[in-house]
Structure 1
Amino acid sequence: MPKTWWEREAIVYQVWPASFADSNNDGFGDIPGIISKLDHINSLGANTLWVSPHYASPRIDEGYDISDYKAVYPPFGTMEDTERLIRECHQRGLKIIFDLVINHTSDQHAWFKASRSSKSNPKRDWYIWRPAKYDDKGNMLPPNNWRSYFNESAWTWDEHTQEYYLHLFCKEQPDLNWTCEDARKQIYQDAIIFWLEKGINGFRVDTVNMYSKPMDFPDAEVTDSDNPYQPAHSLFCNGPEMPKYLREISAIFDKYDAMTVGELPSTPDFKQVLRYIDPNDPQLSMVFSFDHVSLDRGEGQHFYLRSWKLPELKNAIAHMQTFVRNSSPPAIAATYLENHDQPRSISRFCPAAQTPEETKRAGKMLAMFQTAMSGAQFIYQGQEIGMTNFPDTWGPHEYKDVDSLNYYNYVVAHSGDDTSKPGEVLKKINRIARDNARTPVQWSSAQPYAGFMAPSQGGEGKQLHKPWMRINDNYKDGINVEDQVHDPDSVLAFWKQAIAMRQARPALFVHGTYEPLDHENQHTFSFLKRAEDGKGTVAYIVLNFSEKQQTFTLPTELQGRKVELLMGTQQKVHLQEHRLGGYEGRIYVAS
């Protein structure tokens, strides 16, 4: 059976519009700014552009609170700009996908305004409303003890209609009621068909496993006794009606040859994962696994940091790589290390890399790590130049994400006389906050604000607004596009080489099977890749995740065969030298 366009060799580049490129110097990225950088994306070797939410929104949650699916957020541009972006992508051979956010809307959406206007409004049951509960003393309580993702009750009281509404995220993001067929039909028309008709090629589907909820809304188990509201992922994720809803959506996508990649949090059981991407009953083209980006987080604890060892990362990668390949026919892995919701991969997976040289080495090693994996590739803006988390010296006023600010303010309010707690929590937030991914892209070391703003069009002395979010100061240390584009030893140059290598050998690197090696090694990560048919070339990938030199031995299977060094992160490597420098990686092939 012929492979779909996304199965063949999709390399997706994600853009966060507010922070990608500002074309009009108002301090905010925009759609014309994206268009101006399409050649950069093309030159990387990407063949698909993913644009994070660009829709009309009050932006309480940076655009994931949508007030009109069929309109563009004005600071980003116009509908004409968006239609031009679609055309310009297609003219360059780029597919384009948008974000699909349909678990909830903004409370400013016309649907919710109608829903909350009265209990008798025809759209009342388009959202989830429930009466209050009362304790034995007559105190009013929410319908259950669920905690939202932003560390507050998942229910908000509406004084006008005297009921609570559900919101798994901010109170300004009321959840849609997917049991209402009229609501589903309008969601499909406004949020999906409208944009597919304009020519986009698919969607990244936000919170794709949360549409089916237990409508009796039982209390969650108490796992955090210090908080009146409890994590309830096991109750509202992966509900029984999910296959029904996603099959309805899939039938639409099939008509347009459109790709879907689902965000699938709180789903550690891969039998459940396969339910969504089983090629015999495909509800989604692929899904994002969260195992590898959850290693440093405590289960059920907000902004709780846990230490982890390299074998745990090996387990997480092996689960998805081997699981999807062992289904029949094979499902597709969605391989990523970064996105808009995650801290930067260098800071997360190589935290000891501190100097510019160490950061560069780590960025190249992680590029090799990711591109050697099977499945579709997802690269986040700035990852290709080795952008990092921002410094832990930045104060709370630099954070913009509602999740970070809600948690910081919660800790401050409950710290009492303990003046050390706000500083401690700020360090935790710095490590894993979403803000780290949302600082503006660093285009230049010479231009104002790292080249994020377009050169002034108004003559010398024209006032530039400050960017909406502070730029990481290390753009002056070589972490910018302009300094790297002509440097053959840069992170950017290495990403281009790694993608070209992958595209030259799709049977091995895109569709090949993954075999983990040396599991207990605390410093090096190594694995084999075999061609899709199990015959021919075998690749051996060995990566040093530490800052210190490490030794390795070629696997028994490669010994005695003709072995070549296909690629290394360091420019001068001797084939017989089985020592890796700090953050060094190599790929050997045996024919």
Structure 2
Amino acid sequence: MQKQWWKEAVVYQIYPRSFNDSNDDGIGDLRGIIEKIDYLDKLGVDAVWLNPVYKSPNDDNGYDISDYRAIMDEFGTMEDLEELIALLKERNIKIIMDLVINHTSDEHHWYKESAKSKDNPYRDYYIWKDGKNDGPPNNWKSFFGGSTWEYDQKTDQYYLHLFSKKQPDLNWENKELRSELYDMINWWLEKGIDGFRLDVINLISKNQDFPDGKENGLCGHEHFANGPRVHEFIQEMAEKTYNNYDAMTVGETPFVDKDEAIKFVKEERQEFSMVIPFEHVEFDRKEGWEKISDWQLSELKDLMTEWQYKLQENNGWTSLYFCNHDQPRIVSRYGDDGKYRKESAKMLGTLLHTLRGTPFIYQGEEIGMTNVSFENLDDFDDIETRGYLNDLKKKGEMTNEEMLKMANYRSRDNARTPMHWNDSKYAGFSNVEPWLQMNDNYPEINVARDLKSDDSVFKYYQKLISLRKEYPVFVYGKYKILLEDDQNIYTYIREGKENNLLIMLNFSEQLAEVDLEDELEIQNAELLINNYNNEPEFRSKSQLNPYEARIYLFQ
């Protein structure tokens, strides 16, 4: 396996709108990120992934781009971004841009021209179709609820939007469009960025017959996810853009299992550095958005292990994450955000940094930020949450209290509440009321408090990152699961050339017994880190405290 900087990196994801407000308008911005570079350097991360900062009317918080070569007014200027890139590079921190090329905003120049007439030169940059039986061309459903088709009275046709109606899908079948996108990608690479996270990139190829979809799950996804030309398009893009640079590429790929993922990340195929898998953050919603599915630890272990083995055997790589701007806070989801908040946050961080892949830390995860508790349905800003709530209201099967409880658990707003820097009003994020309601536990959970405490989640993450840099086995070691059927303990080893790691994680709030006598023989194991600040010697039979994590080094 080839050594690559992006395999060895730890990436920190910044949601600019909620990171740090430098000009007191209640919205985070690029200069706010510049003010916190020392913090990123102190944590020890190697790269920063910025959520979209391009010019946008903000229908979907920047994922509706109106100009790929300009900066959103609320975030600052291109000069601010260039300064940020330069200052990060001084600290040897690389920068990854979020790139949205499945769709644009309906305020993009291309779409404005496309919508003028059927014979406009830009018409074919988007997907326009005649209706059928006095309705849309097919029954596909949007990620945000409702039909994927919006009728345009002026030209008497429908345009496709897999997301918001203000996010029309680009027509990748059009060679001229692809050429313009590639020119834009190279323009950014020449500006000095180090790669891209490519939003819903496996949706760019649609079945050109546009048939009706099956009425289960997201209707139509079998015709617009992993479409017939998706790998052809990606290989062409890679060849003409980022593969000519020492760049990191992260493909966000919904509806991709481990077998399909190999096609995107196998080194010989030269498509992406890694993908963003979804199965491990969706298995608690098997029965839909509106119901929390019961799950057992063995399910999570099976999913993680299947991906680990598949990619390991096929010379592929992946991203490691639990939190991002689209997911609720992991400590509230798979841990305990009450009594054992610190312990479970550290335990989950241990899993994140010891699997085979590139760890992604989402802002606030390193201090154990939790889900928010909004009091009213109207408090939610997230367009996806609002779409689901509207659908539930129409069904009339849930009370407002039930919908509120579910939205507080599921909503993407959980990740988007402003960053907690200190215990002052508005948590040091801003001096004025932020664009989104604060989580009211910021006086107890904030950066300033974590930096002062030797037992903090931040200091634990800092040490995990340091260990990863010190021992190559964290990056390149082979993964092997132990005690597969245990419903409380997740334990595995990483086998390296020089040494090995044993990772022991208790996913329960109970004391848990670990018996490895029949699994492996270890002598002279060295404890590298433990989230209870004690130093337990390795024993084949041992007991783990609630949410305890241990990493041992052995020969």
What range describes the TM-score normalised by the shorter chain of this pair?
Answer: over 0.9
Residue 5 of structure 1: aligned partner: 5
Residue 288 of structure 1: aligned partner: 276
User: Are 1:408 and 1:422, in contact at CA under 8 Å, matched by a contact in 2?
Assistant: no
Residue 450 of structure 2: aligned partner: 484
State how far apart, in whole Å, the 2-side matches of 1:370 and 1:556 are.
26
State how far apart, in whole Å, the 2-side matches of 1:32 and 1:558 are.
52
**Deviation of residue 412 (structure 1)?**
2.3
**Deviation of residue 570 (structure 1)?**
0.8
**Deviation of residue 397 (structure 1)?**
2.4
User: Are 2:325 and 2:415, in contact at CA under 8 Å, matched by a contact in 1?
Assistant: yes
Give yes or no for the alignment of 1:451 onto 2:428.
Answer: yes
**Deviation of residue 501 (structure 1)?**
1.0
Which of 213, 229, 243 is 1:254 aligned to?
A: 243
**Deviation of residue 332 (structure 1)?**
1.6
User: Are 1:103 and 1:207, in contact at CA under 8 Å, matched by a contact in 2?
Assistant: yes
Residue 354 of structure 1: aligned partner: 338
Which of 296, 307, 326 is 1:341 aligned to?
A: 326
Residue 307 of structure 2: aligned partner: 320
User: Cα deviations across residues 354-374 of structure 1 (Å, max 9, x unaligned)?
Assistant: 23xx10111111111111112
* Number of corresponding residues: 552
Residue 159 of structure 1: aligned partner: 153
Give yes or no for the alignment of 1:522 onto 2:487.
Answer: yes
State how far apart, in whole Å, the 2-side matches of 1:560 and 1:222 are.
53
Give yes or no for the alignment of 1:189 onto 2:155.
Answer: no
After superposition, residues 45-444 of structure 1 pair within 5 angstroms as: 45-134=44-133, 140-190=134-184, 192-223=185-216, 231-251=219-239, 252-268=241-257, 270-298=258-286, 301-327=288-314, 330-350=315-335, 352-355=336-339, 358-391=340-373, 394-415=375-396, 420-444=398-422
**Residue 572 to residue 72, structure 1, CA distance change in 2 (3 Å):** same
User: Cα deviations across residues 451-504 of structure 1 (Å, max 9, x unaligned)?
Assistant: 102xxxxxxxxxx43100111111112x11000112110000000011111111
User: Are 1:363 and 1:386, in contact at CA under 8 Å, matched by a contact in 2?
Assistant: yes
State how far apart, in whole Å, the 1-side matches of 2:500 and 2:246 are.
33
Query: What is the identity, as a one-letter code, of the residue corresponding to 1:102?
Result: I
**Deviation of residue 513 (structure 1)?**
0.8
Which stretches in structure 2 are left out of the alignment for 5+ residues?
Answer: none
User: Cα deviations across residues 87-127 of structure 1 (Å, max 9, x unaligned)?
Assistant: 11111111101001000000010100100100010111110
User: Are 1:151 and 1:302, in contact at CA under 8 Å, matched by a contact in 2?
Assistant: no
State how far apart, in whole Å, the 1-side matches of 2:390 and 2:523 are.
61
**Deviation of residue 38 (structure 1)?**
1.1
State how far apart, in whole Å, the 1-side matches of 2:375 and 2:468 are.
38
State how far apart, in whole Å, the 2-side matches of 1:353 and 1:544 are.
15
User: Cα deviations across residues 25-47 of structure 1 (Å, max 9, x unaligned)?
Assistant: 11000000001111111111101
User: Cα deviations across residues 319-363 of structure 1 (Å, max 9, x unaligned)?
Assistant: 221111111xx222211111111111101111x4423xx101111
TM-score (normalised: structure 1)? 0.91
**Deviation of residue 409 (structure 1)?**
2.4
SS at the partner of 1:575? Answer: coil
Residue 432 of structure 2: aligned partner: 465
Residue 512 of structure 1: aligned partner: 477
**Deviation of residue 303 (structure 1)?**
3.8
What is the CA RMSD across the aligned residues, in angstroms? Answer: 1.5
**Residue 555 to residue 542, structure 1, CA distance change in 2 (3 Å):** farther
**Residue 475 to residue 130, structure 1, CA distance change in 2 (3 Å):** same
The sequence identity of aligned pairs, in percent, is 42
State how far apart, in whole Å, the 1-side matches of 2:438 and 2:274 are.
33
Residue 537 of structure 2: aligned partner: 575
